[in-house]
Amino acid sequence: MKYENEQALPRARKAGLVVKRLNDEVLVYDLKRHKAHALNESAAFVWQKCNGQRTVAEISEVLSKEFDVCADEQTVWLALEQLSKFNLLKERVARPVAMPRISRRNLMRAGAAAAFALPAIISIVAPTAANAISTVDPRECRMRPRTLCLGTPCDTRTERRFVCRTGRFQRFCACRTPEGP
Amino acid sequence: MEKIDRLGWAAGIAVSKFGLRIGLRVNEPHHLKAMIERLPPGWKPGSTPVVDLIYSLLISNSASDARLRRFNLLYAGSARVARSLDADAVLTVFESDVQMYVGLQARRRIFVHAGAVEWKGRVIVIPGRSTSGKTTLTAELVRAGATYYSDEYAVLDERGYVHPYPRLLGIRVPGTGVSTKVRADALGGRVGVRPLPVGMILVTQYQAGSRWRPRKLSAGRGALEVLANTLPARTRPEESLNSIQQALTNATIFKSHRGEAKETAELILQSSPRG
């Protein structure tokens, strides 16, 4: 992975993303990794300012102006590290060695969050269709009497379609492929 | 497919729903009714015999030779999706398969795994995984006076409006995982008929001994909760996000564990923001 030097010029990734604005936040869907991210207002702002030409110091300056707060480089780095972690930057950026890492909690204690929410990104893995339908838990399936297997789909968190049914040689319900013996 | 086509089919029907044309055929005419009963609610007879997907149900005639074990078979197109000695199990697989097919392929509709009821002109959507208590809470909301939309899918259009999907409520019998089918009017409720905007999203799960103490979520956080229960999230992400964005623009999102459904339903309806 390529790391930039101390004069980091972060560049937002655009390719392979679906981006939607929702009130102050931004929703991003990563078509390659099938992950969805919700960027809060300040994280979205930093992401939008990453054009490959602004330094971290310059981004912190526009952030301060926009939100009318004193947002230092630490706040921008907090956003950049999350953006980097969720693959929303074209190239990973690394905090300068000389700059100490300050946790979100310490930043809040230092009062950076007094006037605006610190950058935050929440992420989920998009569900497969099988994960988004009514299913039976495999343990629950095994507890069913033989006459009540009923072929209900099993909640196995995989793409394979398992159903709750008996096998040819078994007398109990279990999650199996629909067409097996 | 040709091999399946050559089998002796005694009855069939073409139906349409959400712009999809589905064919059903059976080798025993009286089983067609059982298949039709398991179709998504609101289906209409198809105007053309040309279909997007055909389900073929082959029910074994065990009386013909008692020494042979004959399986009941279900095909979706040319793919076998179920083989069982139990005809009911095959029909249950048909029900879930056809629902998933419609949920994934429906044109200009986004299916979210959620309960949905209408209250004061807006829809309350309860997204959640299986066994999270969606149906129980939906049933209690209907008993408390809300209009039933669905206990399984909140069907969103491109404006973010929720369309009714009023299948029978599948209320689980405690401890067995087996559900019984109940009509909404048997709970004293009405069934919704027109699409309405979303007023509230409830992210909740039953937890014994818990109390309903909702905290408000941001729209972005709520969108992820809805997306996590969206059927075509991976296959049609742009369309899914667009419908969710429209649906959540003016909605309030609450998250909380809940205890008993009855008292939670009353608290939810009392706190409904619009009058």
User: pLDDT per residue over B60-99, tens digit each?
Assistant: 876 655 666 678 888 888 888 777 777 887 888 888 889 8
Contact B80 A153 (CB under 8 A): no
Query: Which of B35, B91, B96, B168 would best serve as a mutation to test chain A binding (most A beta carbons within 10 A)?
Result: B96
- Tens digits of per-residue pLDDT, B19-69? 899 999 998 888 899 999 999 998 999 888 889 999 999 988 766 556 666
Tell me the C-alpha distance between B72 and B216, whole Å: 50
| Assembly ipTM | 0.86
Which pTM value belongs to this model? 0.84
Average pLDDT, chain B: 88
* pLDDT tens-digit series, residues A92-118: 888 887 777 777 777 776 665 555 778
Q: Are A18 and B241 in contact (CB under 8 A)?
A: yes
- Per domain, the residue ranges of chain B are 2-105, 110-270
Q: Where are the domains of chain A?
A: 17-125, 129-176
A165·B170 Cβ contact <8 A: no
d(CA A107, CA A73): 11
* Residue A29 Cα to chain centre, angstroms: 9
- Cβ-defined contact of A165 to B104 (cutoff 8 Å): no
When scoring B241, B244, B245, B252 by the number of chain A Cβ atoms within 10 A, the one with the most, hence best to mutate, is: B241
Return phi, psi of residue B141, to 5°: -65, -40
Please tell me if residue A114 touches chain B, with a CB cutoff of 8 Å: no
Residue B257 has pLDDT above 90, yes or no: yes
Q: Tell me which of B133 and A40 has the higher pLDDT.
A: A40
- Measured distance CA(A10)–CA(A18) in Å, rounded: 20
Which residues of chain A are within 8 Å of residue B100 when distances are taken between CB atoms? 129-130, 133
* DSSP assignment of B236-268: SHHHHHHHHHHHHTT-EEEEEEES-HHHHHHHH
User: In terms of pLDDT, which residue wins out, A141 or B168?
Assistant: B168
What pLDDT sits at residue B177? 57
- Rounded mean pLDDT of chain A? 81
Among the listed residues B257, B164, B131, B272, the one whose alpha carbon sits nearest the alpha carbon of residue B204: B257
Helix (H, G, I), strand (E, B) or coil at A74: helix
Mean pLDDT in residue range B149-167: 95
Mean pLDDT value across residues B107-114 = 93
The second-level CATH assignment, the architecture, of B110-270 is 3-Layer(aba) Sandwich (3.40)
Per-residue pLDDT at B275 exceeds 60 = no
Residues of B within 8 A of A31 (CB-CB) are 237
- Tell me the three-class secondary structure of A97-160, residue by residue: CCCCCCCHHHHHHCCCCCCCCCCCEEEEECCCHHHHCCCECHHHHHHCCHHHCCCCEECCCCCC
Q: How far apart are CA B181 and CA B91, in angstroms?
A: 15
Which chain B residue has the Cα nearest residue A44? B220
- The class of domain A17-125 in CATH terms is mainly alpha
The rounded distance, in Å, linking the Cα atoms of B39 and B77 is 16
Lowest mean pLDDT among B91-95, B107-111, B221-225: B91-95
Question: What's the pLDDT score for residue A1?
Answer: 38
pLDDT at A28: 97
The CA distances from residue B156 to A71, A88, A130, B226, B272, in Å, are: 40, 28, 19, 11, 21
Band the pLDDT of A3: cuts 50, 70, 90. very low
- The predicted pLDDT at position B231 comes to 92
List the single range of A56-70, A97-111, B226-240 with lowest mean pLDDT: A97-111
Q: Which residues of A touch B86 (CB under 8 A)?
A: 149, 151, 165-166
Instruction: With cut-offs at 50, 70 and 90, classify the pLDDT of residue A4.
Output: very low
Give the model's pLDDT for residue A7. Answer: 72
Minimal C-alpha gap between B226 and chain A (Å): 10
Better-scored residue on pLDDT, A4 or A117: A117
Q: Which of A23, A126, A155 sits opposite B237 (nearest CB)?
A: A126
Model pLDDT, residue A2: 40
Long-range Cβ contact pairs of B80-83 (< 8 A, separation 24 or more): B80/A178, B80/A179, B81/A161, B81/A178, B81/A179, B82/A151, B82/A163, B82/A178, B82/A179, B83/A178, B83/A179
User: Of B260, B130, B269, B38, which is closest to residue A155 (Cα–Cα)?
Assistant: B130
- Residue at B113: amino acid letter: H
**Which residue among A18, A40, A140 sits closest to B241, beta carbon to beta carbon?**
A18
Q: Which residues of chain B does A124 touch, with a Cβ-Cβ cutoff of 8 Å? A: 224, 227-228
* pLDDT at res. A98: 75
User: How many Cα atoms within 13 Å fall on the side-chain side of residue A2?
Assistant: 8
Contacts of B104 in chain A (CB under 8 A): 129
Contact call for B227 and A153, based on CB within 8 A:
no
Instruction: Work out the pLDDT band at B123, boundaries 50, 70, 90.
Output: very high
> Residue B264: its pLDDT value, please?
93
Range A117-146 average pLDDT: 77
More confident residue, A129 or B76: B76
Instruction: Find chain A residues with C-beta within 8 A of B152's C-beta.
Output: 134
Mean pLDDT of the region A7-28:
92
Confidence of residue A177 (pLDDT cuts 50, 70, 90): confident
Higher pLDDT, A159 or A132: A132
